[in-house]
């Protein structure tokens, strides 16, 4: 009887709550959360840098307008190739 009680106690230590299995799961979960946190911190830093450039760098804003909206300056030459999806020049 003492042996079965000891066996149940050992099983409870390994497979019960707060056992080594749960510790392994928590460590794995912590590693994945840390990876996500680091990725989000890098993305946040990039976005902050982009905000600063949008507020202060006129050349950056003009380049974004030309790239995303297809605008061209009056002194720019616009080349159009057959079969390419080009933005209309405004």
pLDDT single digits (tens) 10-54:
777 777 777 777 788 889 999 999 999 999 999 999 999 999 999
What is the rounded CA–CA span in Å between residue 63 and residue 47?
17
Residue 90 has pLDDT above 70, yes or no: no
Please state the pTM of the whole predicted model: 0.56
Can you state the angle between helices 2-15 and 20-56, rounded to 10 degrees?
10
Residues 42-86 pLDDT 10s = 999 999 999 999 999 999 998 898 888 878 877 878 777 787 665
What's residue 11's pLDDT? 77
């Amino acid at each position: 009887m003492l042996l079965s009680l000891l066996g149940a106690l050992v099983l409870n230590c390994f497979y019960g709550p707060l056992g080594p299995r749960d510790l392994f799961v928590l460590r794995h979960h912590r590693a994945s959360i840390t990876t996500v946190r680091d990725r989000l911190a890098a993305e946040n830093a990039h976005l902050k840098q982009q905000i600063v450039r949008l507020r202060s760098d006129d050349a950056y804003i003009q380049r974004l307008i030309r790239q995303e909206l297809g605008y061209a300056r009056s002194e720019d030459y616009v080349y159009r190739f057959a079969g390419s999806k080009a933005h209309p020049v405004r």
